[in-house]
Amino acid sequence: MNPSSGRRSGKTFLFTSESVGEGHSDKMCDQISDAVLDAYLSQDPDSKVACECVAKTGMILLVGEVTSKAVVDLQSVVRNTIKKIGYDDSSKGFDYKTCNVLVALEPQAEEISECVFEGRDQEDIGAGDQGLMFGYATDETEECMPLTLLLAHKLNYRMKELSLKGECPWILPDSKSQVTVEYRDSEGALEPLRVHTVVISVQHGPDITLQEIRHHLMEKVVKVVVPAKYLDDKTIYHLLPSGKFLLGGPQGDAGLTGRKIIVDTYGGWGGHGGGAFSGKDYSKVDRSGAYAARWVAKSLVKAGLCRRALVQISYAISVSHPLSITVFHYGTSDRDEDELLQIVQKNFDLRPGVIVRELGLKRPIYQATACYGHFGRKEFPWEQPKKLVF
């Protein structure tokens, strides 16, 4: 389906996005994988890393491939990451001090490094694998992100903040949120009208009542995070709908790197090529290509060339140039999509070796991306719009 075909202008509809907190078992694995990546890059910026993490009760398993000159204390990296997340006592279901950390990391296959890197200048290195990536941007928020996902992330971040400050000591590391927004279609652009539903589930200590939890979540989380203009007397709240959430993190559910790819990106808006981000260095275009696609999409929207944009890029292993670049504007531009594509091709060199230089992707910046979304946060270089020549 062509995204630019849009829906009938003026129509209202509901859309939902979810997010998860730092202590969610899958997000815990994402953060560990990226902490390992950062540890290697901080010593050797040319490290080649593909590190997956598996978590279950009292156990962390690292699997994957690493080729690097760095010498990394993986036990410390893993345990310090878990400590930062907040799992510091067995009463919370996980303890960084006593968990078992198993490592099964091997060197990257030589045939991959030979076809991707050998005999090539930095700018002409090949893609580390085949794949397709999407970048999305929408002018409905200043960050050019969907309001549904932005609010869902902020709800989880707020709960973490309250826990760290000691204002709500009963809040434990695992949490989930979900936000449904009513939108109006405005000739392909999106106008958020109101928040229809808010869902929050949070791991908690045993010495607090359900009534108290729901009161705190409403007064200290929802009303602080969600702008009052979006809430009305018809907004529906499901605050700890299960009634209790004592068993969280890997003890409640096994965790795995790369299982929250929609949370990491656009909350179900736009598109997704299926590749996860965490634990992968820049040569894996699942990550660098997706970051570049977001950079392109946001640059188009911020330049006023369209109000929404979806950009697809595809690659083949060992081939430096993208196989395809496609731009959709959802009918929100006075230029046709071929014109926007020409502007993209004129302003962006989307070879992996150029992306890494322009976005600084050899730096140890990745652990910060592994929770609360990879996009919509001004501290990341792909969130700084490029000044386009057109």
Angle at 73 between CA 57 and CA 370, to 5 degrees: 60
Catalytic residue among 27, 48, 204, 374: 27
Is there a catalytic annotation at residue 260? yes
Catalytic pick from 160, 196, 284, 308? 284
Residue 69 annotated as catalytic: no
Given 30, 38, 52, 182, which residue is catalytic?
52
Listed in sequence order, the residues at least 6 apart from 256 whose beta carbon sits closer than 8 Å to its beta carbon are: 25, 26, 29, 52, 53, 54, 55
- Of 30, 143, 281, 286, the active-site residue reads 286
Euclidean distance between CA atoms 36 and 50, whole angstroms: 10
Of 160, 176, 196, 287, which residue is the catalytic one? 176
Beta strands 171-186 and 12-20, pairing class: antiparallel
Catalytic residue among 44, 46, 56, 65: 65
Among residues 245, 277, 328, 380, which one is catalytic?
A: 245
In the residue annotation, 24 being an active-site residue is answered as: yes
d(CA 7, CA 303): 24
Q: Which of 18, 22, 26, 140 is catalytic?
A: 26
Give me the catalytic one of 259, 307, 308, 329.
259
In contact, 67 and 46? CB cutoff 8 Å:
no
Q: At what angle do helices 352-359 and 285-302 cross, to 10 degrees?
A: 60
70 has catalytic annotation:
no
In the chain, what's the furthest Cα-to-Cα distance?
65
Q: Which residue intervals of 313-359 are DSSP H helices?
A: 337-347, 352-359
Q: Which of 70, 254, 303, 316 is catalytic?
A: 254
Annotated active-site residue 95? The verdict is: no
89 is catalytic: no
Which residue intervals of the chain are DSSP H helices? 25-43, 74-85, 110-116, 147-165, 210-216, 223-225, 249-252, 261-264, 285-302, 337-347, 352-359
Catalytic residue selected from 158, 204, 216, 260: 260
189 among known catalytic residues: no
Has 259 been annotated as catalytic?
yes
The active-site residue out of 161, 253, 339, 358 is 253
Q: Cβ distance 172 to 92 under 8 Å?
A: yes
Q: Any catalytic annotation for residue 97?
A: no
286 counts as catalytic: yes
Question: Closest Cα partner for 23 from 104, 98, 95?
Answer: 95
Give the residue among 296, 228, 297 at the shortest CA–CA distance from 269.
297
- Strands annotated E in the chain: 12-20, 48-56, 59-67, 88-89, 94-95, 100-106, 131-138, 171-186, 189-204, 236-239, 255-256, 308-315, 324-328
The catalytic residues are: 24, 26-27, 52, 65, 176, 245, 253-254, 259-260, 280, 284, 286
